[in-house]
Chains A and B, each alone.
Chain A
């Protein structure tokens, strides 16, 4: 158990819908990262927040957004969902802003029908 929690574990929804994925980092960690794991793209970095502020962006679609709240939990919002958005979404956390290991949550499996 890494100490990072993600909810829900599974999510099934329809195309065009909007969903919110939630992540709570390890106690004491200020950085939260979101990754997407799909069969065709592998594991890709989406976005990072550090102490409430966006720090880095990766291959994140404009339909996706994220935020980190004062209690340091983070939410990833996915809108206008398409079939291709079906994937496993991981949250990770770390103490520092950069150059450090990241601890991963169990993931949220999103299925878009």
Chain B
């Protein structure tokens, strides 16, 4: 069955530090992969998506993610974190018409 694993439940980084959030997916074919962000009390905002083609995808707010088929991974990165990036991040796999969400990684940013 299709699944998404985010191994880190909580991550804390200092403002200005780099960030990498891990994601592993399980899917037979090449999946559609997304990262969504949920700020406290807010809905879900799409950060970036991978459908096919270039394995390094750029998103909004300075985020990028790299699709690695050999590792079944789709890790999210940002070179310098801002305090406003504190939120919950979901790695998501799209299988035809429904989205499969990972459990989420809650990011805290220290000043």
Q: Any chain B CB within 8 A of the CB of A58? A: yes
- Asked if B26 is at the interface (CB within 8 A of a chain A CB), the reply is no
Label chain A's interface by main secondary structure: strand
Contacts of A33 in B (CB 8 A): 98-99
B90 located at the interface, meaning its Cβ lies under 8 Å from any Cβ of chain A in the complex: yes
- Between B36, B44, B90, B94, the greatest number of chain A beta carbons within 10 A of the residue's beta carbon is seen for B44
A106 interfacial contact with B, CB 8 Å: yes
For residue B49, CB closer than 8 A to chain A, the reply is yes
Number of chain B residues close to chain A: CB under 8 A: 20
- Which residues of chain B come closer than 8 Å to A31, judged between CB atoms? 97
A102 to B99, CA, bound (A): 9
B32 at the interface (CB under 8 A from A): yes
The CA of A31 and the CA of B94, in the complex, are separated in Å by 15
Shortest Cβ distance from B43 into A: residue: A106
| A107 at the B interface (CB under 8 A) | yes
A69-113 toward B: CB 8 Å interface, digit per residue (1/0)?
Answer: 000000000000000000000101000011111111111000000
Which residues of chain A from 16 to 54 have any CB-CB distance to chain B below 8 Å in the complex?
31, 33, 35, 42-45, 48
Q: Any chain A CB within 8 A of the CB of B101?
A: yes
Binding site for B on A (CB under 8 A): 2, 31, 33, 35, 42-45, 48, 55-56, 58, 90, 92, 97-107
